[in-house]
Amino acid sequence: MDKAPPKDLAGRLTEVALGYQRALERDPRQPQALLGMSLVALASRQTELAIRMAAAGTAVAPQMVTAWIALGQALKAAGRNDEAERAYAQALRLDGTNALAHLGLGELKLAGEQPEDATREFELALRREPTLLGAHLGLGNALALMCRNEEALERYEQALVLQPRLPEAEFAAGFALTRLGRVKEAEIRYRRAIAARPDFAAAWVNLGSLLREQGLDIYAESALLRATALRPDLVSGWINLAALDRERRRPAAVEQHLRKAFALNPNQVETLIAWSQFRLAERDLAGAWAWLRWALARNPDQDEAVNMEGILLHQEGRFAEAVMRFHRAEELGNRAAASNRGNSLLDMGRVDEAVLAHERAVERDPNHPGAAYNLALTRLRLGDWERGWPGYEARWRFREVHRAPRIFKQPRWSGEPLRGERILLHAEQGLGDTIQFCRYADLVAARGGAPVLQVQEPAERLLRSLAVVRNGAAITAILRPISGPISGPISEPALPEFALECPLMSLPAIFGTTIETVPWHGPYLHAEPGAIEEKRAQCPSIRPGLRIGLAWAGNPRYKADRQRSMRLDTLTPLLHTAQSKLDVNWISLQKGEAAEQLTELPEGVFVRDGSSSDRDLAETAALLATLDLVITTDTCIAHLAGAMAKPVWILLPHLSDWRWMQEIETTPWYPTARLFRQTEPEDWPGVLGRVLAELEQKFHAQGAARPALQFATHGINAP
């Protein structure tokens, strides 16, 4: 709101004030004139004058209920809430059913974060005056604070019946609709509020936040910049801009926004938490703690500060302490804390409790995408695929997974029979995901569709080896990286016309995949025969014996890469021992910066670089075809070897990705895979010790011309 009333209103107030002033000149103790002057002063934001005039009115007319109410309003505007409460109480002693006094008390209770008490006062006001607009709005706000969003929305709608297009009611309805997950309706309400009052800065902030949640970053930025232009003193505008630029990885801009917010109010807890979140995003854990401690010193019971404390404890691996803080944040009403608690319990191995925590989070807030997503992943991890796959669709609403979901004009396929329609099956996450789920193209074709497999460029040539592509029932296309936000239906001229679309990772839900029905009819990806011989010539063995491929690091941009990846020097004891005892030829399948670690190996350990210069995964597949075994961390190489039915040993962290499930040593996705899991966090040496023992047990000793490789996994033997 502006710091002074508009000029036309100011003119009217001046005219009214002059009338009251003339009345007081005739009789300085005239109570109606004193009351009128108080209301005029309050309307023009002269709170101290409003208090003096109202107090004078109560002094000359102590039985005048409206004077006590006016005094309460003036004191409330000045932030003197205890005195305001006493003024309203006196009004109610004089008239126990006065609606305005109950309204004033309700607003005080609401400001004091006592929504239950506020609800009671607003309801009492409405019993006396059912058309009291402020009581409907106040009751809606109190209900929203208690997360009773449907009831809150009803109150805001009633306010709009009483006064259509009221900006404050449209704004509040937008907030409730956002909480209910009705995002498009919420956007309409915020735009209505702005249309009715273009300078409504808070509505611009909420609209910007909503657009950010939908991945419409350019429009979100525009709305937030409009808010800060209207109200440079509005801290929430700068905090939301900081959140947007934090997600866009623009640290300099984030810091600039947060400095402005901090300068406006160095003690505002929300700003201090935003600083903590920013430092954590920059991997400065010490800095994150410093800002958070400041926030907790200001308000130890602020729910998001307590939740953030749990997040930092989790980051440090202090899971038991994190669980306690998340529990406290839940008690304080934090919407995300129960799901966060579930994640910490999962890291502690308390899986059943983790499921209950995630279920509680979804119960408490069914429209929170992060809670629904975490519950789905936990169910998939535990083998509850019947509920896990449908729940996994929540990823499209969860910005940590999809910041800018693709929007098509074509409808999403939901499994109905097809009659030759061309259907776009598109990659959405990593290369490993594409390899794992491209097998479903065969099922789509069997249901009558003509799949177009749109995948990342490194995978496109490889996927031409799918039987469904080789026989002409499907085609491949390249998914180009998208720069910038997507604001509407996308146009891709390189694609053929298609009638339907479906993300690859949504296909297990459509086909109702269970552990027993994972599609597997043998290897489904293959290398070109000529390329295999070329790779064998480029990468020959330096000694008779095993040819074992190695990959030790995945995409460093992946959120949990630190847990799943290792450095090559961690493998040195295995490399040295196996090389000397088993005549192993080690061949690197590693790409990217991690491949540079090959130059740092100690003397006496040799790993041939086989893949760092590969143009795509088709070349890597040709090299894999020459190997006896692949040993890899959780990378796309694990999926490629599995899809080719090559023997592959996958080294997993203590808490592995959901697709590898819990505790088991095999996986229904790849029958030739063997899983080696950490028994304790970061215990790679223990994993490698078991790998070495397995190698020694399975293979002949040094000197054999070619070891006989007997793989017991699912009864499959190496060729």
> How far apart (Å, rounded) are the C-alpha atoms in residues 9 and 1?
14
Confidence of residue 10 (pLDDT cuts 50, 70, 90): very low
pLDDT in tens, 104-124: 999 999 998 899 999 999 999
Owner of token pair 């309409």:
188
Percent of the chain surpassing pLDDT 90? 71
Q: What is the pLDDT of residues 532-575, one digit of tens each?
A: 999 999 999 888 888 999 999 988 877 777 888 999 999 998 99
What are the angstrom distances between the C-alpha of 217 and each of 398, 461, 486? 15, 33, 8
Contact partners, residue 576, CB within 8 Å, separation at least 6: 602, 604, 605
pLDDT tens digits along 639-661? 999 999 999 999 999 999 999 99
Cα–Cα nearest to 461, from 525, 521, 532? 525
Q: Are strands 500-503 and 422-426 parallel, antiparallel or unpaired?
A: parallel
Within a 13 Å sphere around the CA of 682, how many CA atoms are in the beta-carbon half? 4
Confidence of residue 482 (pLDDT cuts 50, 70, 90): low
Query: How large is the average pLDDT for residues 36-47?
Result: 84
Rg, Å, the chain Cα set: 33
**Which residues neighbour 28 within 8 Å (Cβ) at sequence distance 6 or greater?**
none
Q: What does the longest C-alpha to C-alpha distance in the chain come to?
A: 119
Q: What percent of the chain has pLDDT over 70?
A: 93
Alpha-carbon distances, residue 270 vs 172, 277, 571 (angstroms): 21, 10, 45
Give pTM, 2 decimals.
0.82
More confident residue, 42 or 151: 151
Written as six digits, the tokens of 99 are: 């609606």
The pLDDT of residue 710 is above 70: no
Q: What is the mean pLDDT of the chain?
A: 89
Which one-letter amino acid corresponds to residue 588?
S
Of 366, 437, 373, 361, which Cα lies nearest the Cα of 399?
Answer: 373
Residue with tokens 């004078």: 56
Overall average pLDDT of the 466-480 stretch: 95
Give the C-alpha distances (Å, rounded to integers) separating 423 from 395, 414, 427, 461, 489.
21, 11, 13, 19, 16
Task: Please report the sign of the dihedral spanned by the C-alpha atoms of residue 691, residue 692, residue 693, residue 699.
Answer: positive
In the predicted structure, residue 703 carries a pLDDT above the cut 80: no
Name residue, tokens 């000694």.
543
Q: Under a CB-based contact definition with an 8 Å cutoff, are residues 588 and 607 in contact?
A: yes
Kindly tell me if the per-residue pLDDT of 487 is higher than 60.
no
What is the per-residue burial (b if ≥16 Cβ within 10 Å, else e) of 375-387?
bbbbbbbbebbee
The reported pLDDT for the residue numbered 17 is: 64
* Number of Cβ atoms within 10 Å of the Cβ of 564: 19
Q: Map tokens 């003096």 to a residue.
A: 52
DSSP reduced 3-state for 409: coil
Can you give the pLDDT at residue 568? 93
**Which tokens go with 365?**
């807030």
User: Residue 3 above 70 pLDDT?
Assistant: no
Q: Tens of pLDDT along 290-316?
A: 999 999 999 999 999 999 999 999 999
Helix or strand run (H / E) with residue 649: strand 648-652
How does strand 648-652 pair with strand 673-677? parallel
Residue pair 435/659 in contact by the 8 Å Cβ criterion: no
Taking a C-beta distance cutoff of 8 angstroms, is the pair 50, 38 a contact? yes
**Sign of the CA dihedral 462, 464, 465, 467?**
positive
Query: How large is the angle between the packed helices 7-26 and 31-43, nearest 10 degrees?
Result: 160
Which pLDDT score is estimated for 13? 58
Confidence of residue 37 (pLDDT cuts 50, 70, 90): confident
Q: What is the pLDDT of residue 603?
A: 85
- Kindly tell me if the per-residue pLDDT of 483 is higher than 80: no
Q: Mean of the pLDDT values across residues 26-33?
A: 81
pLDDT in tens, 147-185: 899 999 999 999 999 999 999 999 999 999 998 889 999
Q: Please work out, in degrees rounded to the nearest 5, the angle formed at the alpha carbon of residue 549 by the alpha carbons of 544 and 554.
A: 165
| Cβ partners under 8 Å of residue 233, min gap 6 | 264
The C-alpha atoms of residue 586 and residue 706 are separated, in whole angstroms, by: 15
- Residues 6 or more apart whose CB falls under 8 angstroms from that of 120 comprise 106
Distance CA 331, CA 468 (A): 54
pLDDT of 689 strictly over 60: yes
